[in-house]
């Protein structure tokens, strides 16, 4: 979600956007698919905020497959060029009864530090549901800003690199036995030959190169982001994704009070 903290007081933001991919817990998994999102955010001048966002995609039936409810707190210090936020999100899926949903909620802690034109960011996510997942996302980017340029109040360009580290529960099927005589005996007794095994694996899950371009005009905000992702499989994880890029576009209208 986007906040405009440069204006004093509280604000409401109406937002709509387009993505040429679908993501799950920080890692893109459908680079050839598109998704639409629309949402509304409220930001209180004391730092508390709430957001409701809906997601649509032709990959699902019904197309409106997810609604996310978020509440959090943002503490920002422009003098010290740093900020911190904590938020909780609840995922409400609108999928078929046989769909497998691993995560239904997320607690996120995020810290930002600006050093001249350098922006440092780190985010920790604790996903929960039928299983638990941990994500750590450090990133570094440049802040290139031009004010009163090309008819806009402000144009910002934030090229950067982002890494996704995580812990995930990996399932695999293992044989009860590899001894031929025991295999024949299990077949004769109509017993299963394999069982499902679970193990926790951790490591690098994704690397991305991002190029966000932001245009601000009055109470309107236009953002275009190109991201090139390199998914990385965890040990024993089966991952069919190939490296690829995607584009996202968002338009936000702010109402200040």
Residue 79 has a pLDDT of 66
Highest-pLDDT range among 11-15, 24-28, 53-57: 11-15
Give 117's Cβ-side CA count (13 Å radius). 10
Instruction: Report percent pLDDT > 70 for the chain.
Output: 89
pTM: 0.81
Per-residue pLDDT tens digits for 223-252: 999 999 898 888 877 777 778 888 899 999
Question: pLDDT-derived band of residue 185, with 50, 70 and 90 as boundaries?
Answer: confident
Average pLDDT, the chain: 86
Residue 29 confidence (pLDDT) above 50: no
Which region, left, alpha or beta, applies to residue 199 given φ > 0 means left and ψ of -120 to 50 means alpha?
Answer: beta
Mean pLDDT, residues 69-90: 90
Residue 92 has a pLDDT of 92
Residue 57 has a pLDDT of 82
Q: Which domains does the chain have, with CATH numbers?
A: 11-256 (2.40.160.40)
Question: pLDDT-derived band of residue 30, with 50, 70 and 90 as boundaries?
Answer: very low
Residue 218 confidence (pLDDT) above 50: yes
CB 205 within 8 A of CB 137: no
From the number of C-beta atoms within 10 Å of its C-beta (0-12, 13-18, 19+), residue 39 rates as: buried
Residue 82 confidence (pLDDT) above 80: yes
Task: Tally Cβ neighbours within 10 Å of residue 93.
Answer: 15
Both structure tokens of 76: 């920002």
């Amino acid at each position: 979600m986007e906040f405009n903290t440069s204006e004093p007081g509280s604000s409401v933001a109406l937002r709509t956007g387009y993505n040429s991919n679908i993501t799950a817990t920080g890692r893109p998994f459908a680079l050839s698919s598109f998704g639409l999102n629309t949402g509304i955010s409220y930001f209180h001048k004391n730092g508390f905020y709430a957001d409701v966002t809906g997601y649509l995609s032709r990959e699902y039936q019904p197309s409106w497959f997810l609604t996310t409810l978020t509440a959090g707190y943002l503490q920002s210090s422009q003098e010290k060029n740093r900020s911190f936020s904590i938020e909780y999100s609840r995922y409400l899926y609108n999928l078929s009864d046989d769909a497998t949903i691993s995560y239904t909620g997320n607690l996120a802690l995020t810290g930002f530090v600006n050093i001249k034109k350098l922006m440092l960011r780190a985010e920790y996510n604790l996903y929960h549901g039928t299983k638990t997942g941990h994500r750590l996302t450090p990133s570094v980017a440049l802040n290139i800003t031009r004010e009163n340029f090309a008819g806009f109040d402000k144009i910002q360009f934030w090229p950067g690199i982002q890494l996704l580290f995580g812990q995930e529960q990996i399932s695999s099927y293992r044989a009860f036995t590899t001894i031929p005589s025991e295999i024949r005996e299990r077949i004769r007794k109509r017993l299963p030959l394999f069982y499902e095994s679970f193990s926790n694996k951790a490591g690098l899950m994704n690397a991305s190169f991002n190029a966000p371009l932001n245009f601000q005009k009055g109470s309107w905000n236009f953002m275009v982001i190109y991201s090139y992702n390199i998914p990385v499989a965890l040990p024993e994880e089966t991952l069919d994704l190939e490296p690829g890029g995607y584009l996202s576009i968002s338009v936000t209208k702010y109402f200040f009070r």
